Amino acid sequence: MTFELKSYRNGMYGANVANWDPRLRLFGTDGVTVLMTVDNLLFRDPTLSFVFTTAATSAPFCTLEVGTGSGTATGDYFLTYSIVDISTATLETEPNQPAPGSFNGPIAYGTVLRPVMSGNSPAHHDYFSFSGIAGDMVSIRRYDNNNFQSSLGVGNGKDISIVIYASDGVTVVPSSQGDNVGIEYIRTILPASGTYFIRCAKSGPGTFPFDYAIVPGLLKAAAFETEPNDTSATAGTLDAGGRASGVISTAANLDIYSLAATAGDLVVISTYAQLRAGTGFLDVGGFGSTLQPLVRILDSDGTTELARARYTPAAGNTFAESVTNALATVEVSFVAATTGTFYIEVGDQGGSASASHMYVIERR
C-alpha cells in the first residue's frame, strides 16, 4: 500500500505565514502498533509505501493517521493511496548468482519481485536482469526491514543493498540511493541499450533467511542524443514525449535541441541530472548523474539567450528548483515572443565532463 499526502506542494494562502508540517503514521490491525512514521520526504509532505505480508483476520486491515510533525501551524491537504496485490509476485529461482544463465530474468518494468535472502556471502546474493533503452530513467523500489512486514524491525539486519551492473556484469552503473523510511528508491539513467543486472545483497550480520521485495520501474523514457549536436545547425529534436537524453562526455561539450513554440506559449524545460544537496526531493532524485547542469534557452538565431538556469545559482538568485516537480535538478521557462523554432542548450556549469554526466530534458 502506498499513501501520499500533498499540502506543502499546494502552496500557501492568505495569512497562513507558517507552513504546516504534516506527518503520516501507519498502524497495524490493532490500531496501536506503529509500523511506519514518515515526515518531510517530498519537501514537507510525507509519503510511505509498505508491504503487508500477513492477512488481517478482522477489520480494519490497517489505520493511517494524518498528524503534525512539529509546530502548531495547520493546513489543508490531499491524500491519495494505491494498492498492489503481491500475492502473485514473481518469486526467485535459485541459483541466481552471477554465473552464465543463473540469474533471474529478463524482468519487465513494473514486476514485483519477492525473493528470499538466505545469507551474507556472495554465494547468497540474488541477481535479476532487465532490458533497457539508452535514456531510460529507471527506479528500483526496495522493501526490507523498514517497510516489509515480515522483515520489519530497525537494526535487525534484514536490510538489502542494491547495485546495478551493465551488460558485462562487472561495470557498475552510477545510481543515486535514498534510504528514507517512507520510500526507498535506487535511481539511474541508462547510458546504453541492452541487458542490465540488479544485484541484491546483505552485507554484514543478520538473521537469515528473510523476505524482501524489489520493483524495477520506468519513470520516464527519453530518446538518446545523436552526435554531433553542438550547434543550432546540427541540433537534435525532442521525442514524441517531449524529451531527450544524453551525456556531456568531453570537456566543454554542449548538446543542443530544437523545439517549436507559438507566440504566447509558456515553455518549461526540466533537466534531470545530479542530485543537489538541500533539494526538496533528496531521497528520490539524482539518478546517479554527476552533471551540474547549465541550461540555456536560445532564440531562433541560435545565439541570443532568452533564459538560463544553472545548478549553482549566481549570487543573489534562488535555486531553479520546482516545488511541483522537484525530481528535476533545475527548470527554466520562457514565453515565446514569436512563433518559430527555439533551442535548448545543455552543458555543465563548470565545463567538466565524464561518462556519468548523464541527463534527461523534458518539455512540460
- At 79, list the grid cell: 491524500
The DSSP string of 68-110 is ESSSS-----EEEEE----TTPBPP-S--SSSTT-SB-PPPTT
Domains 116-220 and 232-363 share a fold: yes
Extended strands (E) in 83-165? 116-117, 126-132, 137-143, 161-165
pLDDT given at position 282: 66
Q: How many CB atoms lie within 10 A of CB 364?
A: 14
Separation between Cα atoms, residue 294 and residue 256, nearest integer Å = 12
CA distances to 35, 55, 147, 359 from 60, rounded to whole Å, are: 14, 11, 19, 45
Dihedrals phi, psi of 168, to nearest 5 degrees? -80, -10
Type of residue at 3: F
Dihedrals phi, psi of 238, to nearest 5 degrees? -75, 150
Separation between Cα atoms, residue 43 and residue 335, nearest integer Å = 28
pLDDT given at position 31: 87
337 Cβ neighbours under 8 A, 6+ residues apart: 263
- At 311, list the grid cell: 545548478
pLDDT given at position 20: 84
Pick the CATH number of 232-363 from 1.10.340.70, 2.60.120.380, 3.40.50.1980, 3.30.420.40: 2.60.120.380
Separation between Cα atoms, residue 256 and residue 236, nearest integer Å = 6
pLDDT given at position 14: 47
Strands 194-201 and 161-165: antiparallel
**Which helix (H) or strand (E) covers residue 346, if one does?**
strand 340-348
CATH tag, 116-220: 2.60.120.380
Cut 0.85: pTM above it:
yes
Type of residue at 73: A
Quick one: DSSP state of residue 9? G
Contact (CB, 8 A) for 18 and 7: no
Contact (CB, 8 A) for 107 and 217: no
Domain regions of the chain by residue span: 2-82, 116-220, 232-363
Q: What is the largest CA-CA distance in the chain?
A: 69
pLDDT given at position 314: 73
pLDDT given at position 276: 77
Please give the average pLDDT of every successive group of 10 residues along the chain, which has 364 residues: 88 60 91 90 86 77 91 88 88 81 86 91 90 97 90 84 93 86 86 96 83 95 97 97 97 95 97 80 82 96 95 73 81 96 97 97 96
Type of residue at 135: G
Type of residue at 240: A
Separation between Cα atoms, residue 282 and residue 233, nearest integer Å = 37
pLDDT in tens, 190-241: 999 999 999 999 877 778 899 999 999 999 999 999 999 999 999 999 999 9
333 Cβ neighbours under 8 A, 6+ residues apart: 266, 267, 268, 269, 307
Separation between Cα atoms, residue 37 and residue 71, nearest integer Å = 17
pLDDT given at position 100: 64
Contact (CB, 8 A) for 237 and 255: no
